[in-house]
Amino acid sequence: MNFTSAIGSDGKNVHSADLRKRLSQLLETTQQADRPWLAWPTTWKGLQESDDHLLLREYLTSPLIHKEKLEEVRRNFIEAVRAKGLAKEGVAAFLEGGTTDEWMLYSSDCNKAAFRQEAFFQHLIGINEPDIYAAYILASEELVLFTPKIPEDALRFMGPPKDNNFYVSRYAVTDVVEVKHLKEVEEELRRRGIHTLLVLKGVNSDSGRPVGPPKAISSFSFFSIDDQALYDILVDCRLRKTPREAEFLAAACLCSSQAHCFVARQVRCGMVEGQAEALFKAYVGFVGGARHVAYDCICCAGVNASILHYGHAGRPNDAAIGSSDLLLFDMGGDFNGYATDITFTYPSSGVFTGPQRAIYEAVLDAQLAVIERMRPGVEWTELHRLAERTILKHLKVRGDSWRYECLLHCTMTKT
């Protein structure tokens, strides 16, 4: 088997049912194995020859899998909208994707990085391209895409524009309209009988940063704007994963877990923390097709693990790995907008010292206690306090022989 086997002789993707069946078997085998990581490849050549790893890439990058996942997400969204009594004639949910301008590197003509779509747009629309708007006409369940007309002088840099049928077939949209100006968007929506737009407006409860409303609506003069309902509906849709989303996340987490194990087998004393980051990024890209990681990689050696978000620009994973360091690597790939967040902790020497073992086992006990208690209806704050109580029991047993930074290590050693 090779990487081109994901495409049949007619150039089309293999049937998604076959992919999903083989993935299910892989996930089940992995879950049932005592120590599955012992069978995972340890070299790049081994990865190229591993059918299981080729299957992961085939699944995680399959347009058919992505399309079917999107269709399920949208059914979930429409059901939520109907339950709120919002699926009325003339009403559309209007979403604005990320823009080219937002990704420019200051005054240069280069981008900051490969484009990464706004999260709500990516979840419901699924297209990782800039400068796109979408209108979901709720009564008829039509999804209309507004794509930018590429200037003639940009074609030699960007290539010819995709045919409208590409978006219709790949992303299950109803119609595609190419536009140069926002006024054309307004005119097209009016032509389709739209008089009210539901738009995003809210606050991210984690970051405290605002979400929406779309900048584009300032250019519209005709529509009534409702910014009260859509945010909560879409947040709830993102929170409650569909079966296809859960399946996709399982595959994504398996890929990131394998990447961590691959890194662990390559790490040596004397390497720099950032080399572990480089290996991880290469793996999730090579095996899972991930062009991004979900967040800045946190690669800590020794006391650096006491810095919760180590790896930022001021602490850029640049310390050397010592011969007796406890390593904490917190990294996760981003697969089609679905983030993974996984942390591995292990000694650089391959053998725990007494204090390192005590720290590790304290956090392991806390983790197992949380998993045992976790069930629908249990507040996450209750689980957080349970983890703290478990760790404090270990601290009490160890007494004052533990240094303060050991507790900080404990709070970071998660999986």
Which CATH fold would you assign to the domain 84-236?
Creatine Amidinohydrolase; Chain A, domain 1 (3.40.350)
Was domain 25-60+242-412 assigned CATH 3.40.50.10470? no
How many CB atoms lie under 10 A from the CB of residue 9?
A: 5
Q: What is the mean pLDDT of residues 188-207?
A: 96
CA angle, corner 116, sides to 110 and 118, nearest 5?
Answer: 125
Judged against a pLDDT cut of 60, whether residue 8 lies above it is answered with no
* pTM, 2 dp: 0.91
**C-alpha span between 304 and 298 (Å, rounded):** 10
Give pLDDT, residue 239: 95
The DSSP letter of residue 104 is B
Read off the pLDDT of residues 273-332 as tens digits, 9 standing for 90 and up: 999 999 999 999 999 999 999 999 999 999 999 999 999 999 999 999 999 999 999 999
Read off the pLDDT of residues 55-65 as tens digits, 9 standing for 90 and up: 999 999 999 99
Q: How far is CA 387 from CA 22, 99, 225, 365, in A?
A: 36, 41, 45, 8
Indicate the domain borders of the chain: 25-60+242-412, 84-236
Grade residue 14 by pLDDT with cuts at 50, 70 and 90: low
Read off the pLDDT of residues 208-253 as tens digits, 9 standing for 90 and up: 999 989 999 999 999 999 999 999 999 999 999 999 999 999 999 9
